[in-house]
Amino acid sequence: MVYLQILGGFILLLGGAEFLVRGAVQIAAKAGLSAMLIGMTVVAFGTSAPEFVVSLNASLDGSTGIALGNIIGSNIANIFLILGVTALFAPIVVNVRAVIRDALMVMASSILFAWLALTGTITSLAGGIMFLLLVAYFLYSYLRERRSHRASADLHEREADEVQDLKMSTSMAWLCLIGGLVAVAYGAELLVTGGTVVARGFGVSEEVIGLTLIAFGTSLPELAASVMAALRGHTDVAIGTVIGSNLFNIMCVGGGVAVIVPLSVPEQLQNYDLWVMMAATVLLLAYLSIGRRIGRVDGFIFTAVYGAYIASQAIGVDKVMGMVG
């Protein structure tokens, strides 16, 4: 029964996020917001909504291991799994000028997040600062790109265009938005509850369930969006989706949830998973810096690395680190 509950949570998160994003984008467009701003904020937040709701729900239930595991695990999955699988469908051509500034911000925010996590607790004050830094960054980026239309602005517009192919009335857009929010909220409840039961049943920690099962579930919207964009020939949108999602996961999800519930950081996350996330982020930045496309061979390697990471969680991080040592 619990597995049906988890499956139901996956389906509601994926479907709910899709309707939420489409409804929110249509409402924003009808309100006169530019495609660039919509792609920069509405789409990025919409695809990260499952991570936010799941992490908030878990934190309010006292499962901060699931909340933080979901954030870190989602960022790892975004880089290795989503980019890997997408590249298997179509090689990802990197436009360095379009994404380098956001990628550097992801790197800086990852360093900040890791530093705070290594202190043992991400406090409400730290969370508030993270969230405000994100708002300030997007305000700066929007004003800069509006004054001088850059390659990054074109990418954000394409991100918005990906979810504006179906026109709908205002009332239908609101129905999609509200229905999507309800589906995401209920899907998050099912996933967190089911994941907690599975963790206890198998005798594994909550953070491991957050890093694997729940992180995979909350990354499904980004995976679906990236693969669909690649099939339409817009492979650069996959890079934009991953970078935007990772930035929101750290600064909005991590920061926003910490404002409400301070997040105590489990030892495994400090000693292992944070460093995997940092390594994945450095690798992505290296690809972007040299303008290297992510081809099918790279996609296979990325996917295999993600499989190895999941295997390390299944075997046990302590055993894996012992073998390496």
Sketch the domain layout of the chain as residue ranges.
Answer: 2-324
Question: E strands, the chain, where?
Answer: 121-122, 263-264
Structure tokens at 131: 């969230």
Strands 263-264 vs 121-122: parallel, antiparallel or unpaired: antiparallel
Look at residue 121 and give its three-state secondary structure.
strand
Look up residue 310 and give its amino acid. Answer: I
pTM of the predicted protein model: 0.88
- Per-residue confidence (pLDDT) for residue 306, from 0 to 100: 96
The domain at 2-324 falls in which architecture? Answer: Up-down Bundle (1.20)
Question: E strands, 8-60, where?
Answer: none
- Per-residue confidence (pLDDT) for residue 119, from 0 to 100: 95
Contact 92, 293 (CB under 8 A): yes
- Per-residue confidence (pLDDT) for residue 128, from 0 to 100: 96
- Per-residue confidence (pLDDT) for residue 72, from 0 to 100: 96
**How far, in Å, CA of 250 to CA of 21, rounded?**
20
Backbone angles phi, psi at 277, to 5 degrees: -60, -45
Plot region of 32 (φ>0 → left; ψ -120 to 50 → alpha; else → beta): left
pLDDT tens per residue across all 325 residues of the chain = 777 888 888 788 878 877 877 777 777 777 666 655 666 667 777 777 888 888 998 899 888 888 999 999 999 999 999 999 999 998 888 777 767 888 899 999 999 999 999 999 999 999 999 999 999 988 887 777 666 655 555 665 665 666 665 567 778 888 888 888 888 888 888 887 887 787 777 777 888 888 888 888 888 887 887 887 778 777 777 788 888 889 999 999 999 999 999 999 999 999 999 999 999 999 999 988 887 788 899 999 999 999 999 999 888 776 666 665 5
Structure tokens at 129: 């600062």
DSSP class of residue 265 equals P
